[in-house]
Amino acid sequence: MLSLVALTALALVFLRLRDHSGTPAARARAAALPPPVPRIDLARLAAERPETTAGHRDLFRFGSAAADADAERAPTPAETPEPVATPTIEAVATPPPGPPPLNLKYLGSVENRAGVKVAVLMTDRKEVLTGQTGETVANRYRIARIGLESVDLEDVGSGQSRRIPLRGN
């Protein structure tokens, strides 16, 4: 009985050593291999191909193929449509382009005891600019008027005027 158990254990060990596909290293090698290349039937290249209608249609003629065949026959005088008058297109005046976007924010104004108001502006780059009425800021805008809730700026290049309202945080 003991020899039968030993013989069975020896057979199992032999089969286990012979089958390497179950080991983790064998499974990792199998996963790393690329998938098999599919078979390409090159004999198809020499085979005769059926005739197609692809590429034989005039792209600049509208309608289906059946309508194109009907259009090739000459219309009778009763079928000839009357010419339609083409409507005239009037030119629409485009408005002049608006001023470029303003990259200044009005933070407020400061007034000293003498009554001189100074406007405080901030650029989109977080630079703080100050100026009185009549002064030029950012080398582009002249301060026209400083109010409590807004400041009027005049573009030096185009002469267009803009009002910037007071903005909170």
Tell me the C-alpha to C-alpha distance, in Å, between residue 9 and each of 12, 20, 82, 135: 5, 18, 102, 102
pLDDT tops 90 at residue 42: no
- Condensed to tens digits (0 to 9), the pLDDT of residues 44-77 reads 888 888 887 777 777 777 666 555 555 555 556 5
Six-digit token string for 41: 């039937």
- Domain range summary for the chain, segments of one domain joined by +: 104-165
Residue 82, pLDDT > 60, answer yes
Residues 102-127 have pLDDT tens digits of 788 999 999 888 888 999 999 988 99
Side-chain-side CA neighbours of 41 within 13 Å: the count stands at: 4
| Token pair in block for residue 1 | 């009985």
* pLDDT in the model for residue 39: 80
Structure tokens at 26: 């064998």
What is the structure's pLDDT at 73? 59
pLDDT band at 134 (very low <50, low <70, confident <90, very high): very high
pTM: 0.41
Rounded mean pLDDT of 134-158? 92
Q: Are 105 and 167 in contact (CB under 8 A)?
A: yes
Alpha-helical regions (H) of 19-114: 24-32, 65-72
| Rounded distance between C-alpha atoms, residue 135 and residue 143, angstroms | 6
Query: Higher confidence at residue 137 or residue 99?
Result: 137
Q: What is the pLDDT of residue 103?
A: 83
Contact by Cβ (8 Å): 118, 128: no
